[in-house]
Structures are given as structure tokens and as C-alpha cells.
Structure 1
Amino acid sequence: MTDTRQCGSRAVAAVAAAAVAGGATMVQVRNKEASARDLLQLLVAVAESVGHRVPVLVDDRVDIFLAAQAAGAQVAGVHVGQSDLPVELARALVGPEAIIGLSAATDNEVRAAHRLPAGTVDYLGVGAIHATATKADHPEPLGINRFGVLVAASTLPCVAIGGINRVDVRPLRDAGAAGVAVVSAVCASDDPRVAAQGLKEEWCS
């Protein structure tokens, strides 16, 4: 997941490209402070950089996804949170082919996701695993053990998120994660490609 501030002077699209070169398999563009126009430009830039190699999603903003799609950008979908546009409406707007991820942090939220019509949600983003500075309003941290309990109750793929570093990757995989989403571990790294490569090595070991 991208963080414009943590990328610093480096272009977000360049950091995304480096991460993909290191083994990242999906990029989610997130910038909650950007204007609609700036977020659209950012999403299109990232899609132009890596959309031909991995799925590119945008956080929260169904309207920005649709605008980027209308502009011809190779964007794959959206990730929505519990306080964003209801996921059923998001699916109706983006169509059946787009990827939709949904945040879930509690038993109730996981159960509610499974009550949705089949095909509404493609994966759950489950966390926060640890406290994280990149999302001030993150839910109470789950830890790896609690994450494993939630995953065991889910038939949807569960991607772990929230303060994850390299040492967490293998335990989360063993707890049932379908993948891990990171922000600081790549965006704040001196070498995003090497950072992503290290995460991939842990996952595949």
C-alpha cells in the first residue's frame, strides 16, 4: 500500500515499480489527504507504472476507480472500509470483474462479510495486526494469534494488515493469511525493491 509521505522525494509510482520488481503482487494506492484530482492523477501514474504487471487498487474511492477506468488506466479495483460506501453498492458500481477488498477487524465484521451475496467481496483485509502510525484510527490490534482465530472462521481469503514487518510474515502465513499488506516496511525503506524482496523471501521460505 502506498504512502505518499513515506515515499518522500521519490515518486510513488517509482516506489511501486521497485516494490513490484522485488516481488509485490498487488499495489493499493492510498492517500486520504489528497484531493480527488490529485488522487486520480496518482492512481493513473501508478497504473501506468505497474498495472500491466500486477493488479492496482485504490483505497476507499469508488469514484476515483471509475474515473481512472474511464480515462483508460489499467486499474483493477477498490478496497473499502467499514465506514466507506457499503460494499454491496460498491460492487454494483464497479461491476463483476473488478476486485473488491473489505476491511474486517472483528468476529462480527467477518461474519457480516460472509452473509453478503456470493461474489460481492474478493478478499478481506484483516487487522490491524499491530498498532500502526499510517492509520491513526486503526482498530484495536489483533496480534497474530487473534488474527489466526478470525481467519479460521473465514472462507474468504484474508490479507493481514497493520504494522507488519519482515519478522511477522512467516507467522502470519502459518496462521492462515492469504497474503500480507505493508506500508512502512516498503515505502519508508531506503530500497523498496530489496524490502519487498525480503518480505517475499520470508513468505516463500
Structure 2
Amino acid sequence: MSIREKLDISAYLVVGPENTKGRPVMTIIKDAIEVGFTCIQIRSKVASAKEMIKLTQQASEAIAGAGKSEEVTLLVNDRLDVVLAARKQGIKVDGIHVGQEDIPVEVCREYLGENSIVGLSARTHEMLEYIKTVDVSQIDYFGIGPLHETSTKPDCGLDLDGKVITRSFEEISKIAKLSPIPVVVGGGVKLIDIPQLAKTGVDGFFVVSAVAEADDPKQAADDLVRAWKLYAPKAHKDLQ
């Protein structure tokens, strides 16, 4: 089975050095993997390319150390150069996540090959229209949001007027039904949101601060995974 067929975005952590309250990024990642997070994305607007490669290497080693290289997907946000450089150094990194304003997905696919993950965030104000019209053959999943306004990414969900548009659960359900590929939802997601979010039919949730800035990241990650498995119809099989 290819990496694209095995992709599990049910519990997805986005993290970088600016999100951890000064704690090591790797400690947060290890905690999340240990309790069942299935996808890790390294994202940083402050780290240099060299630092990003190092973080990617450490994350890859943490996943391998947990014996989960075949189960947990490792992605890098936006930095195709980092993914390529990491792979050149023998680091197992599974793909990239980009936004509509970033490197085109076709270019990512061309450089990373067919056996890689390419995820895409589409602009909030045109998400429904975009899902109906975009060629999804090059994309493995959509990241959508924000569910709430979030300080982690203040520009998340900006419309053309510069206002933040958040997603209602009703809209998310509509997107989940329309989308021909898996959908993961984030943007200020907290534990209290999981029951309702799980019922929309999306394939997973992504978080930054709910885990990386929690007083006890491992407990926070565990609570999120357990809640998702409890309420998501697609996840019930995991509990048996």
C-alpha cells in the first residue's frame, strides 16, 4: 500500500518552535505520537532552512523511534526546499502542505513524486466553489478553517475585505459532503469542539496551541485523540 493510500489525518499536529512556550518541539511531537496522533506538520515562519531541516530530522527520528514510520505521516509546511534537502540527507519526510498562495501543487507533485503527500489549504471565502472546480488529482487532502479566530495564525480565514471568516459546523458538513478527497479542520480547535466536529463527516482535526501550548501537552493530545475516536463514525473501528 502506498503512502497516499495509508494517509490518516484524523489527529493532526502542526508545530514549530514559536508554538511551544519555549519547550523543545521534539518533546511535544513525541508526546503526541505516543498517544495516537497520526500526522505531524513542521511549520515555522521564524526558523531558518537549516533549523527546519533539523526539526524535520528530529521529528522523523521520533516517529521511527516510536515504531510508527508506517503509520504517522510527517509533512513540512510550505518549504519545498526543506523537504527536498531533508530527503537528500536521507531523512524520511512524507510530503508537504501548501496554501493557494504558496508553491503550486503541480510543482510540489513534480518534484516530490507520486508517492508523496501534498496537502492544500484553500482560501476560506472561496472554499466551497474551489472544492467544486479544482483538479484534485494532485492533492491528497484539504485543510480548512478556521473554526475559531486563532492567535497562532491571525491571517487564517481572511476574506477579500480583510475580515476573518470562521467556519460553522453546518458549512463544514457541507464541505465534507462535497469534497472528493479527505478534509481536515483546524483553526482554534479545542477539546470541547471535537464531538460536534466529528459529526460533520470530516476526516480529522488539526491543532497547534491546544497541544503545543497546553500545560500538559501529552494529556491534552490524549484527550483529543480519545474524544475523536469516541465521536467520529469513521474512527469507531479503531476502538474495537
Aligned positions, number: 202
Deviations 1:44-84 (A, max 9, x none): 11111125521110011111111111111121111011110
Percent of aligned pairs with the same amino acid = 35
1:87 pairs, out of 96, 105, 118, with: 105
* Matches for 1:47-196 after TM superposition, within 5 Å: 47-51=60-64, 53=68, 54-104=72-122, 105=124, 106-113=127-134, 115-116=135-136, 118=137, 120-139=138-157, 140-196=165-221
- Tell me if structure 2 keeps the 8 A contact 1:126–1:160: yes
Amino acid at match of 1:63: D
TM-score where L is the length of structure 1: 0.93
TM-score where L is the length of structure 2: 0.80
SS of residue in 2 equivalent to 1:28: strand
Rounded Cα–Cα distance in structure 2 between residues aligned with 1:195 and 1:22? 10
Structure 2 gaps, min length 5: 1-13, 158-164, 231-240
Indicate the residue corresponding to 1:37 in structure 2.
Answer: 50
Deviates more, 1:33-42 or 1:195-204: 33-42
* Matches for 1:20-35 after TM superposition, within 5 Å: 20-35=33-48
Deviations 1:98-121 (A, max 9, x none): 1111112311222243x24x2x11
Deviations 1:27-55 (A, max 9, x none): 00000121111111111111111255211
Amino acid at match of 1:138: C
Structure 1 gaps, min length 5: none
Deviations 1:99-151 (A, max 9, x none): 111112311222243x24x2x11111011111111112111211222111111
Runs (4 or more) in structure 1 with deviation over 3 Å come to none
- Tell me if structure 2 keeps the 8 A contact 1:129–1:141: yes
Amino acid at match of 1:166: L
Rounded Cα–Cα distance in structure 2 between residues aligned with 1:57 and 1:73? 12
- Tell me if structure 1 keeps the 8 A contact 2:35–2:222: yes
Indicate the residue corresponding to 1:6 in structure 2.
Answer: 19
Amino acid at match of 2:50: R
Rounded Cα–Cα distance in structure 1 between residues aligned with 2:130 and 2:47? 28
